[in-house]
Amino acid sequence: MAYQTIIDRKPSTYVARAAKHTALWLALAFAFLPLFLMLNISMKSNAQFYTSPFGLTLPFTWSNWVKASAIVTPYLANTAVVAISSTAMTLCLALAAGYFFARVHVPLSGFLWQALVFLMMLPAIANLTPLFILLRDMKLLNTLWALIFVTTAMGEAFAIFVLRNFIEELPQELFEAAEVDGAGHFWQFSRIVVPLSGPMAGAVGIMHLLRAWNDFMLPLVVLRDPGKWTITLGLMRLDGEYVKYWGIMMAGYALSSIPIVVLFFLTMRLFIRGLTEGAVKG
């Protein structure tokens, strides 16, 4: 009987295996289509695009990339300033706050924690209108500072959740030994927590950086002056041009994706860690 089943299974396993790989490659082909077309069209002049929109056309119009990079670079620079500053700020504040929640339970701890849990449920988008008024009254409209502060404030809850957990799981003996020697909280934080936090802070940081990079509604509301626009707004403008230069548009899309793609592949392991931490805690 058992022998029979093994014989029976062999051919079907082969067929199943082929079907499995075919399905995966088919899904991949479709998933890569936007990427392929983006790169392909980015090397076409408008004339080439209208004669053959999707096939390969020679010669490649490399000048599209030059023109697109002149358009996109300032936007990318603004985005980098916002995303990097906000990530640095989030990590500093959230690591310290995580230490506060993880190490001791003092009056207000419980209340502040509840406030943080509530913040996680608060949809950022619902805050947009009153936030706009607040930023206007603070004279922060049309500044990158506004984006940095608000992105940090909205991203902190998640970061504190993960980092608190991380600090709680550090070996307790480290802190005890330090306390026996009379070390205060600042010493413990800067000599124990900060040096050990590297990988976890990296995971949280990369998640925050990507979110800040892709933010759209907040910059849309805050930034008036095109010279201060972040990349997402810049891309919208590129798409909204009345006369479309498809090649330049696609080169712009590709150029604005490159930093994120490179960053992602450099930090993939950290990113997946952040993702699973978030999935467990979220």
Partner 1 sequence: MKARKIPLNKVVYHKEIYLFVLPTVLLVGLFAYYPASSGLVHSFYRWNGAEISEYRGLANYRELLTDIRFWTSFKVALLLGLVNVLKMIPALAVAVLIHRVRSPRMQYAYRVLFVTPMVIPMVVMILMWKFFFEPTSGVLNQALRSSGLLDLLARADAWFGWGVFSHFANPAWLGEPALAFSALIIWGFPWVGTFAVLTYLARLQGIGEEIYESADIDGASAWTKFLYVELPLILSMVRVNLVFVIIATLQDAVLVLLLFGPTGGPGGVVQVPALFMFQEAFLMLHFGKACAIGVVLTAIMFVLSKLNERFVRIEH
Cα 219 to the center of its chain, rounded Å:
15
Contacts of 115 (CB under 8 A, 6+ apart): none
Q: Which residues of 73-109 are buried (b: 16+ CB within 10 A; e: fewer)?
A: eebbebbbebbebbbebbbebbbbbbbbbbbeeeeee
How far apart CA 95 and CA 275 sit, in angstroms, is 18
Residues 40-69 that bind partner 1 (CB under 8 A): 49-50, 53-54
Q: What is the dihedral of CA 247, 249, 252, 258, to 10 degrees?
A: -80
Q: Which stretch binds partner 1 (CB under 8 A): 25-33, 58-66, 80-88, 196-204?
A: 25-33
Residues 217-276 that bind partner 1 (CB under 8 A): 217, 221, 231-232, 235-236, 239, 246, 253, 256-257, 260-261, 264-265, 268, 272, 275-276
Minimum distance between the CB of residue 63 and partner 1, rounded to whole angstroms?
Answer: 21
Can you read off the two tokens belonging to residue 262? 């490179």
The answer to the question of residue 94 lying near partner 1 (CB under 8 A) is yes
The answer to the question of residue 189 lying near partner 1 (CB under 8 A) is yes
Q: Give the residue from 95, 91, 102, 125 showing the smallest Cα distance to 209.
A: 91
The answer to the question of residue 18 lying near partner 1 (CB under 8 A) is no
Binds partner 1 by CB under 8 A, chosen from 69, 84, 88, 127: 127
The answer to the question of residue 134 lying near partner 1 (CB under 8 A) is yes
Number of residues that bind partner 1 (CB under 8 A): 100
Q: Which stretch binds partner 1 (CB under 8 A): 17-25, 66-74, 80-88, 197-205?
A: 17-25
Report the Cα–Cα distance between both ends of the chain, in Å, rounded. 49
The answer to the question of residue 186 lying near partner 1 (CB under 8 A) is yes
Q: Which stretch binds partner 1 (CB under 8 A): 63-71, 80-88, 179-187, 198-206?
A: 179-187
The answer to the question of residue 100 lying near partner 1 (CB under 8 A) is yes
